[in-house]
A and B are shown apart, each in its own frame.
Chain A
Amino acid sequence: MIRHHPAPETLLAHVAGTLAPGQALTAAVHVQGCAHCQAQTRRLEAAGGALLEDVVPEPLAADAFAAVMARLDEPAPPPPPKPRQADLRLPPGLVLPAALRGAAIGRWLWMGLGLRYSRVTLPWAPKENVMLLRVEGGRRVLRHSHGGAELTQVLWGGFHDITGAYGPGDLQEADETIEHQPLADPEGCLCLAALEGGLRLPWISRLMGK
């Protein structure tokens, strides 16, 4: 049962294509696993289709049609090379979401007691702050706030903080107004997180700032 979804305006920005790439990836992972948000996405895309249909058309160059017709038989460009993905020894039964297929995934790195992260690099947006976070059962993520929006999608296990309890498929949306210290459920937690502007910790200004 998925209880936490992206905010309506976040999903709209995702469908309109204006969400930052890391957040768009996280939102895409959520939507893939959430029938409710899939239906909402279809409605919003239909709104995009209606707006496209109603736009005042702009004529193309005179030779545009001939130019495209001449290209129809060209072979499609090859797919991009598969990025390197470390073997993360995921919990049994967990498969990384399809939306992560094009991303490079680093090995686990130590971040704190019972806390590891793996850097997720998007070839199409390499400066985005995206990571997989693995928190052992009963451990807390350091108390932190954010330079901007933080989207966290639970892939396995769960956590809770002042804003509620989050399980598999839930998405937490936090912004610079929230300071929180998530506590992992007893079995632990594995999340995908996209951060805008880095984490802000009380004792260092930035852990993973750009």
Chain B
Amino acid sequence: MNGLNPHPRLAHGLANTAPVSTLDAPPPDAAALAALVLRVSQTRDRTAYAALFKHFAPRVKAYLRRAGLEGAEAEEVTQDVMLSLWRKAGGFDPAIASAATWIFAIARNARIDAARKRRGLPAAPEPEEEDHTPSAETLTLTLEREALVRTALGALSAEQQQIMRLSFFSETPHAAIADTLNLPLGTVKSRIRLGLARLRAALEDKA
């Protein structure tokens, strides 16, 4: 089953609740992670970058492995993603996304470009980035909005969660997911629709 985690911790809130060892500082929460990206963007702060690396690089690598990249390639592309994080930090807009969401998009694009590179094709051009003037207020709104998405994801049925994870964490379009799960494509699509409709309903209730 592609090494999927059978017990996703989706229902957890944004504050990280992992046990804190006496040796390590507690992992940064979403507000702290966004602040770190802003420090990288505004003052090229290498200490902040190191903290982001520690938190995100192993997650990006896990994502890439699940999306079908082999060991050495997953390692190489992870390092490229982390380098992109340094270079593209100026495009991070806390009014639009949390740090994890922003890095998810960078890692996803890197995965697609890695598949192209294997076939000798160039990367797709970057979308134009605008200058952002971040404010603390918009960051709070973003984190609230994303916390709702996270809670709504955790409230989906196990079946729908599995399809959502496969949709995000595999290299394959929905037809291949249907093959993997040995389900008709129509069933996969209707589960996706149902899951997305429930996500949306949950979000609109709270809005």
Spell out A's residues near B (CB within 8 Å): 7-9, 12-13, 15-21, 40, 42-43, 45-61, 64-65, 67-69, 71-72, 76, 79-80, 98-99, 101-102, 122-126
Nearest-neighbor residue (CB-CB) of A17 within chain B: B108
Contact A59 B58 (CB under 8 A): yes
Residue pair B173, A52 in contact (C-beta under 8 Å) = no
Inter-subunit contact B153/A50 (CB<8 Å): yes
**Please, could you name 6 A-B residue pairs with CB atoms under 8 Å apart, sorted by A?**
A7-B193, A18-B172, A54-B5, A68-B83, A72-B46, A123-B121
- Give Cα distance in the complex from A42 to B113, angstroms: 21
Q: Are B12 and A54 in contact (CB under 8 A)?
A: yes
**A49 pairs with B101, CB closer than 8 A:** yes
Which A residues touch B126, using CB under 8 A?
79
Does A46 contact B196, Cβ atoms closer than 8 Å?
A: no
Do B104 and A18 touch (CB < 8 A)? no
Nearest B-chain residue to A53, judged by Cβ: B100
Contact status B199-A47, CB under 8 Å: yes
Contacts of A50 in B (CB 8 A): 10, 100-101, 146, 149-150, 153
Please, how many angstroms separate the alpha-carbon atoms of A135 and B123 in the complex?
32
Question: Would A13 and B101 be within 8 Å (CB), given that A51-B165, A53-B59 are in contact?
Answer: no
**Chain A contacts for B138, CB-based, 8 A:** none
Interface size of B in residues (CB-CB distance below 8 Å)? 74
**What A residues does B57 contact at CB under 8 A?**
60, 64-65
A48–B145 CA distance with the chains assembled, in angstroms = 14
- The contact of B149 among A20, A46, A58, A72, by CB within 8 Å, is A46
Q: Is the CB of B79 within 8 A of A67?
A: yes
Closest to A21 in B: B124
- Taking a contact as CB atoms under 8 Å apart, the answer to whether B116 and A124 are in contact is yes
The answer to whether A47 and B164 touch across the interface, beta carbons within 8 angstroms, is yes
Question: A60 contacts which chain B residues (CB < 8 A)?
Answer: 57-58, 61, 75, 78-79
Listed from nearest, the 9 A-B pairs whose CB atoms lie closest are: A49-B101, A57-B58, A102-B125, A49-B100, A48-B104, A46-B149, A50-B150, A17-B108, A58-B62
B-to-A contact residues, CB < 8 Å: 5, 8-10, 12, 46, 49-50, 53-54, 57-63, 65-66, 74-75, 78-79, 82-83, 86-87, 96-98, 100-105, 107-109, 111-113, 116, 121-128, 145-146, 149-150, 153, 164-165, 167-174, 189, 192-193, 196-197, 199-200, 203
Dominant secondary structure of chain B at its interface with chain A: helix
Inter-chain pairs besides A12-B196, A49-B97, 18 sampled, C-beta below 8 Å? A9-B174, A15-B168, A21-B124, A43-B145, A45-B104, A47-B199, A49-B104, A51-B164, A52-B104, A52-B107, A55-B66, A57-B59, A59-B58, A60-B57, A64-B78, A64-B79, A98-B128, A125-B121
Give the one of B101, B107, B123 with max A CB within 10 A: B101
Query: Do residues B125 and A80 form an inter-chain contact, with CB atoms below 8 A?
Result: yes
Q: Whole-angstrom distance from the CB of B108 to the nearest CB of chain A?
A: 4
Q: Is B50 a contact of A124 with CB atoms below 8 Å?
A: no
Q: Determine the chain A residues whose CB is within 8 A of the CB of B149 once the complex forms.
A: 43, 46-47, 50
Separation of A99 and B128 alpha carbons in the complex (Å): 9
Question: Which residues of chain B are near A76, meaning CB under 8 Å?
Answer: 87
A126, B121: Cβ atoms closer than 8 Å:
yes
A69 B97 Cβ-Cβ under 8 A: no
- Write out the residue numbers on chain A whose beta carbons fall within 8 Å of the beta carbon of B87: 76
Task: Report the separation of the CA atoms of residues A34 and B116 in the bound assembly, to the nearest whole angstrom.
Answer: 28
**B126 to chain A: closest CB distance in Å?**
8
Q: Are B124 and A48 in contact (CB under 8 A)?
A: no
A179–B101 Cα distance when bound, in Å, is 39
Residues of B within 8 A of A52 (CB): 59-60, 63, 100, 103-104, 107
Given A49-B98, A49-B102, A80 contacting B174 (CB threshold 8 A):
no
Is there contact, CB below 8 Å, between A64 and B75? yes
Measured between alpha carbons, how far is A54 from B73 in the docked complex, in Å? 22
